[in-house]
Amino acid sequence: MTTEVAILNKQAVAIASDSASTGYDEYGRPIFSTANKIFSLSTAEPVAIMIYGSASYMGIPWETVIKVFRDKLGDSRYNSLRDYGQRFVQFLQEEREFYPEAVQDTYVEGHLYDYYDILRNIILDNIEYHFENKEELGTQEMSTLIDDIIDHQIKVWKEGKTHIQDPEVFSKRFLAKHGNTIDQAIREVFEELPISEQGKMRLQRLAAHIFVYYPQSNDYLTNTGVVITGFGHLDIFPSLVSYKVQGVAMNTLKYKEESHRQIDHQNTAMIIPFAQDEVIRTFIDGISPLMDTIYYNFIEDVFGYYPQFIVDALADESGLDQEQRMDLEDRIRQIGIDNFRDGYHQINQIKSDINIRPILTVASILPKNELAEMADSLVNLTCLRKRFSTDEETVGGPVDVAVISKGDGMIWIRRKNYFDPNDNYRFLNNLK
């Protein structure tokens, strides 16, 4: 895991990343190491790239992928930062020597089994919930429950984003090529569960969906976050574009653009955290994003349920029939929810006025050295919080910091090395 941050103002971008890299041995034990996650993306323009999530792309270290791209890019210039992002995604799609057919098949099989394992656990958790609530589930009822869960998963995936122009055509081709692998995975993963024939057909459809769509609520499978920031050739102010990249199946890259953020005359500063971002967001917002969500959901539930209690308490005196009671309950509920959402909007405005806006106001006028210091401090704050908690210390190690500006290009403020730079003059002369 990792934590990263980009801070943008009109003058420059400061980016910082920790060095933690987590893998697992054959027994599931975590292995921690250090990794480089910030790189220069162009030798001609001030453009940088940060990586988080998976450490490799189709089995190739991201550092290698990025440096091959940079070499191929050469002195080419693109007018906007976003053009660099689109060119990088195109490179991932078209660089066929990275992923021969055997590598693609291995990727498909691994992700297919990973997702089916996740789905199996969802099914078992639902069955356990029914048993805990002393609900009898026969074979037929269990089969119906599983069908409903699979149908819900199909809906979740199909509502997600995709860049593939004709998903149905891709899905048919995918099922024709990988049908045997899919059937084998279904047998091995769901062997003891009473899944109907119709349910198995839906599982086959799901197999294609996981290589087409990005669900909006969750990324169920391993992805890499790719953050590209800096200046295109004609850009006056910096900008940032971020992607989620999964891999290539059927010679088709699965990815999505997550955000595109630009500094302009109105938006003069941005602080954008990535990966494990809760500590940085707590610092900026003044409240933990988890607690904010819990608070919102709890209060909304209260406003959703209390009208029934009010109407029930008045039932004997009101003289209302069932239809009138339900109508009154709905009206009270809607009034309560509307008022809660108005109040929550006001709370967010206060949060912005007290916490967010003052920080962004200061960030908008910071010189480059202090912009770098701020980015460094925010990443170190996350490292400190993880170190003094009972969680796995999945964030840590040396913090790499760089500043990208139109005039100076990409400047390393702090960069770890696995060697002594004084003994490697050739590296220093070719530092990128």
Return the domain boundaries, the chain: 3-99+222-277+393-429, 102-209
Question: pLDDT category, 330, cuts 50, 70, 90?
Answer: confident
Q: Where are the alpha helices (DSSP H) in 213-321?
A: 278-285, 289-318
Q: 């009898």: which residue's tokens?
A: 136
338 contacts: CB under 8 Å, gap ≥ 6? none
pLDDT higher than threshold 70 for residue 429:
no
Q: What is the pLDDT of residues 297-325, one digit of tens each?
A: 888 888 777 777 777 777 666 667 778 77
pLDDT higher than threshold 50 for residue 331:
yes
Secondary structure class of 50 (helix, strand, coil)? strand
pLDDT higher than threshold 90 for residue 11:
yes
Give the pLDDT mean for 385-407: 85
Q: What is the pLDDT of residue 26?
A: 47
Q: 3-99+222-277+393-429 sits in which CATH class?
A: alpha beta
Question: pLDDT category, 169, cuts 50, 70, 90?
Answer: very high
pLDDT, the chain, mean: 88
CA atoms within 13 A on the CB side of 307: 17
- Dihedral angle over CA of 136, 142, 148, 153, nearest 10: 120
Q: What is the pLDDT of residues 193-230, one digit of tens each?
A: 999 899 999 999 999 999 999 887 766 677 899 999 99
Q: Give pTM, 2 decimals.
A: 0.87
233 contacts: CB under 8 Å, gap ≥ 6? 45, 77, 78, 79, 80
Q: Which residue has the higher pLDDT, 99 or 238?
A: 238
Give the pLDDT mean for 374-392: 87
Q: What is the pLDDT of residue 130?
A: 80
CA distance 122 to 211: 20
Q: What is the pLDDT of residue 22?
A: 61
